Chains A and B, each alone.
Chain A
């Protein structure tokens, strides 16, 4: 990582002299403030995961603890061949991709609108951030009962005025209903990241292009969009990490019914209601593998932005 370029003089100096006791002591003194946080994180987040991997190789139903036995990769075979579980993998992908893409596009449009000066820009920004600051369960309840209710929900109430149909949103389009509520909550998140990206553009370059007669669209296409690329990637990846793990909306709006159970909900249900510890762990490991793929890309994007910041400083 080139970000370490700021550190080498220090690092190599301490490496060269590490064998002398006083220096080693000093190295530990430098390290000491870091250790509590590091040890805490390893114990609380890494150990349980190791345990999950171990449990995933056992046939273990919590209701029959005596029948626990090692089964190798059977749980994985079962997870991957079970129609419900396979469906929940597919649901997770659909949910994540749809929500991330929709909120990214909406967020981009809103960020472009907010990047211009106009009367009340601060107020509009505040109005737009608000959905992200509603407690997720509360937001899901709001959509489920207050907006989607087929008899007296706000959506059908507004449709009533224009003489539109009165659909039963959650029963008719369950996954879309969950997705819409999540898009509402996550668009502000994307907007904030993209707005920060827009505001870090090189204004002189844009002015120069404008003086040279470039149109708004040309500037957007050839200057703004390439600059935003990494901010779009960052938003997409961070959004994916959070939405792959989404539990609140699925649990609240459909309780995992009507084919909306995603992997986190399925894992929850498999061990909390069905008490199948081994199966739940195997599914959990699969969620992790999926997240690791996203995370690898995410880490790369974060580290490139990080490097840029470090070189600018």
Chain B
């Protein structure tokens, strides 16, 4: 650990090198941080390793760390053993997540524009209305939505989920995009307008370059929340429109030796979220805290 970069710095005014005790403490804390990271990651690492073990090797006590690797767990999960194939569920999840994210962007972008670049009157009140809908527990509206879907013949229909996921993510997206669009300097937009640039050109040349990374992060976070959702999907879908999390609930009751299969399933279903999450890592906090933390 280099003493020059340590933010803890030195107690005494400008001393060339930190006292050795401080350096040793820094190294100790770095070790603790590494240990914590490993402990938190251990269940995931173990899940990955187990998914490549045979069922017999996965179910031993003490655990077999060095057992031979195999793809059997994945083959089983993808239906080689005669079980239901997860592909329709994965495809449904993909459709629901992508379509709802797209719809969220279509609705949130103009809304964020009207809340930041050309704000309407009382724009903070509107912003807080969006936020307050997020605080209403989803379970409270579930029954009327179920009854409506049943009467309208929309049960087991993936597009109903698309609409519900859009409403679930729209407040987050409006908040995030409002904060990203607010970073676009108004003076630049005004200057472009004075120069006679039409609105589409201002949006494309001035606003988009500054706001695009934020928009991408917003989209990734909306994708994650839609992909993860279980309660609505569980209640409102059946055989046709079931999503990947609903498919996973099939593993809740034990089915004999099936650990490798469960691990393979959990990992495959989580992969898109892990990928999207790491891609959006830098903006993750801002999204999760609804733009309150930057």
Measured between beta carbons, the chain A residues less than 8 angstroms from B108 are 37
Q: How many residues of A are counted as interface, with CB atoms below 8 angstroms from the partner's CB atoms?
A: 126
Measured between beta carbons, the chain B residues less than 8 angstroms from A115 are 7
A234 in contact with B111 given A135-B245, A281-B143 (CB within 8 Å): no
User: A4–B143 Cα gap in the complex (Å)?
Assistant: 38
Measured between beta carbons, the chain B residues less than 8 angstroms from A156 are 61
B30 in contact (CB, < 8 A): yes
Please state if A15 and B121 are interface contacts (CB–CB under 8 Å).
Answer: yes
User: A193–B7 Cα gap in the complex (Å)?
Assistant: 20
User: A210–B8 Cα gap in the complex (Å)?
Assistant: 9
Q: How many residues of B are counted as interface, with CB atoms below 8 angstroms from the partner's CB atoms?
A: 114
B238 in contact (CB, < 8 A): no
Measured between beta carbons, the chain A residues less than 8 angstroms from B248 are 135, 137-138, 141
Please state if A255 and B252 are interface contacts (CB–CB under 8 Å).
Answer: yes
Please state if A285 and B140 are interface contacts (CB–CB under 8 Å).
Answer: yes
User: A38–B132 Cα gap in the complex (Å)?
Assistant: 13
A267 in contact with B166 given A117-B6, A120-B34, A124-B37 (CB within 8 Å): no
User: A197–B6 Cα gap in the complex (Å)?
Assistant: 19
Please state if B62 and A143 are interface contacts (CB–CB under 8 Å).
Answer: no
Interface on chain B toward A: helix, strand, loop, or mixed SS? helix
Please state if B251 and A141 are interface contacts (CB–CB under 8 Å).
Answer: yes
Please state if A36 and B110 are interface contacts (CB–CB under 8 Å).
Answer: yes
Measured between beta carbons, the chain B residues less than 8 angstroms from A277 are 143, 147
Interface residues of B in 242-265 (CB under 8 A from A): 244-245, 248-249, 251-252, 254, 258-259, 262-263, 265
A52 in contact with B62 given A14-B121, A117-B5, A142-B266 (CB within 8 Å): no
Please state if A141 and B266 are interface contacts (CB–CB under 8 Å).
Answer: yes
Measured between beta carbons, the chain B residues less than 8 angstroms from A128 are 36-37, 40-41
A169 in contact (CB, < 8 A): no
Please state if B40 and A130 are interface contacts (CB–CB under 8 Å).
Answer: yes
User: A120–B37 Cα gap in the complex (Å)?
Assistant: 11
A7 in contact with B44 given A37-B170, A146-B50, A288-B140 (CB within 8 Å): no
Please state if B284 and A129 are interface contacts (CB–CB under 8 Å).
Answer: yes
Interface residues of A in 12-43 (CB under 8 A from B): 14-15, 27, 30-34, 36-38, 40-41
Interface residues of B in 163-181 (CB under 8 A from A): 163-164, 166-167, 170-171, 174, 179
Please state if B139 and A287 are interface contacts (CB–CB under 8 Å).
Answer: yes
Measured between beta carbons, the chain A residues less than 8 angstroms from B288 are 189, 192-193, 238
B292 in contact (CB, < 8 A): yes
CB-contact partner of B126 in A38, A46, A264, under 8 A: A38
Interface residues of B in 235-294 (CB under 8 A from A): 235, 244-245, 248-249, 251-252, 254, 258-259, 262-263, 265-267, 269-270, 273-274, 277-278, 281, 284-285, 288-294
B238 to chain A, nearest CB (A): 12
Chain A residue with the shortest CB-CB distance to B245: A137
A100 to chain B, nearest CB (A): 15
User: A263–B142 Cα gap in the complex (Å)?
Assistant: 13
Interface residues of A in 130-153 (CB under 8 A from B): 130-139, 141-147, 149, 151-152
User: A110–B34 Cα gap in the complex (Å)?
Assistant: 10
Quick one: CB contact mask for B189-227 with A, threshold 8 Å, 1 for yes?
A: 000000000000000000000000000000000001001
A127 in contact with B140 given A10-B119, A192-B288, A248-B230 (CB within 8 Å): no
A146 in contact with B281 given A15-B121, A116-B29, A299-B131 (CB within 8 Å): no
Measured between beta carbons, the chain B residues less than 8 angstroms from A301 are 292
Chain B residue with the shortest CB-CB distance to A265: B139
Interface window among A72-80, A82-90, A303-311: A303-311
B142 to chain A, nearest CB (A): 7
Quick one: CB contact mask for A53-72 with B, threshold 8 Å, 1 for yes?
A: 00100000000000000000
CB-contact partner of B281 in A113, A126, A145, A184, under 8 A: A126
Please state if B266 and A129 are interface contacts (CB–CB under 8 Å).
Answer: no
User: A151–B254 Cα gap in the complex (Å)?
Assistant: 13
Please state if B59 and A151 are interface contacts (CB–CB under 8 Å).
Answer: yes
Most buried by B among A47, A118, A277: A118
Please state if B110 and A37 are interface contacts (CB–CB under 8 Å).
Answer: yes
Q: List 9 A-B contacts (CB under 8 A).
A: A37-B111, A38-B111, A52-B144, A113-B32, A113-B36, A116-B7, A136-B228, A268-B142, A306-B124
Interface of B toward A, CB cutoff 8 Å: 1, 5-9, 11, 13, 26-27, 29-30, 32-34, 36-38, 40-41, 43-44, 46-47, 50, 58-63, 107-108, 110-111, 113-115, 118-126, 128-148, 163-164, 166-167, 170-171, 174, 179, 182, 224, 227-228, 230-231, 234-235, 244-245, 248-249, 251-252, 254, 258-259, 262-263, 265-267, 269-270, 273-274, 277-278, 281, 284-285, 288-294
Interface of A toward B, CB cutoff 8 Å: 1, 3-4, 6-7, 10-11, 14-15, 27, 30-34, 36-38, 40-41, 44-49, 51-52, 55, 109-110, 113-121, 123-139, 141-147, 149, 151-152, 154, 156-158, 160-161, 184, 187-189, 192-193, 195-197, 200, 203, 207, 210-211, 213, 216, 231, 234, 238, 241, 244-245, 247-248, 251-252, 255, 263-264, 267-268, 271-272, 277, 280-281, 284-285, 287-288, 291-292, 294-295, 298-299, 301-303, 305-306, 309, 313
Nearest 10 A/B pairs, CB to CB? A33-B110, A48-B141, A138-B266, A118-B30, A51-B144, A295-B135, A133-B277, A127-B37, A37-B111, A44-B167
Extra pairs beyond A244-B137, A264-B231 (5, CB < 8 Å): A41-B170, A116-B30, A146-B259, A196-B294, A302-B131
